[in-house]
Structure 1
């Protein structure tokens, strides 16, 4: 009988990694080819300005987007796309997300239907700097680690 493979994604806005759970009592094992690093973001030096129109009393302004927020969104999208490819390849059966609230929201926004269908739980905590034992202890309500 084929084991039910659960992938546990531990992420923050700078890095993400995947651990596999193959059944009760087997713990978590790192999935070596499923690690991501966010690219460095260059922050603008100046704020957007306001200019006066040469044709009259009108004022124009340049809106500025937050480069860090854009980078975080792109990073979450890349993770979700790679997870979707792995899911379509039947690499895993179930999914658990662990990340801080900000990154959790970004990941949720980019999950496609196939990932949402296999998502069995979320832990809205940033455990990315924690040892594997701590991550396993947090999974008690979702998995028999």
Structure 2
């Protein structure tokens, strides 16, 4: 079981916003303080696309095939994970935390793992593959404690 110690950072994120929390107490009675939030404006793919998907001439007479367009919305989600990794690296490099718990949907955790520096990964004590970004802080405290006790 991973202990939720005093001073542990808990980062709760989905692919568009992140909540930076610090535990002010211990594992028995967690009390998270909101230190910061990060949010990105990520409109739907249709709103971000400038043109219709392209078409390409096929080998047959007067046949055309559609080309896939870039999914700008999904690309922006991946960039958010990269930006979050940079923020966590800067804070780790400055010695702002020693222990880190990541709470995110499995896909977001995968993007974070790909982008995180060794200095950050060495401080990760637990990963919780759930999207709790829309939950109130007091509920996040209970759910994180429960998940840590179950692991």
TM class by smaller structure: 0.7 to 0.9
Instruction: Flag structure 1 segments of 5+ consecutive residues without an equivalent.
Output: none
Question: Which of 13, 23, 48 lines up with 1:21 in the alignment?
Answer: 23
Q: Is the 8 A contact 2:23 2:33 kept in 1?
A: yes
- 1:107-126 correspondence runs (5 A): 107-126=112-131
Note the C-alpha offset of 1:63: 4.6
**Structure 1 residue 142 corresponds to structure 2 residue 148:** yes
Cα distance in 1 for partners of 2:14, 2:72 equals 17
C-alpha root-mean-square deviation of aligned residues, in Å?
A: 2.7
List runs of 5+ in structure 2 lacking aligned partners: none
TM-score, normalised to structure 1, is 0.80
Give the number of the structure whose residues are more often helix, by fraction: 2
Task: Give the structure-2-normalised TM-score.
Answer: 0.77
Give me the whole-angstrom Cα distance separating, in 1, the residues matched to 2:136 and 2:118: 31
Q: CA 1:88–1:4 in 2, change beyond 3 Å: closer, same or farther?
A: farther
Name the count of aligned residue pairs: 137
Structure 1 residues 12 and 94, CA gap change in structure 2 (3 angstroms): same
Find 1:38's aligned residue among 26, 37, 40: 40
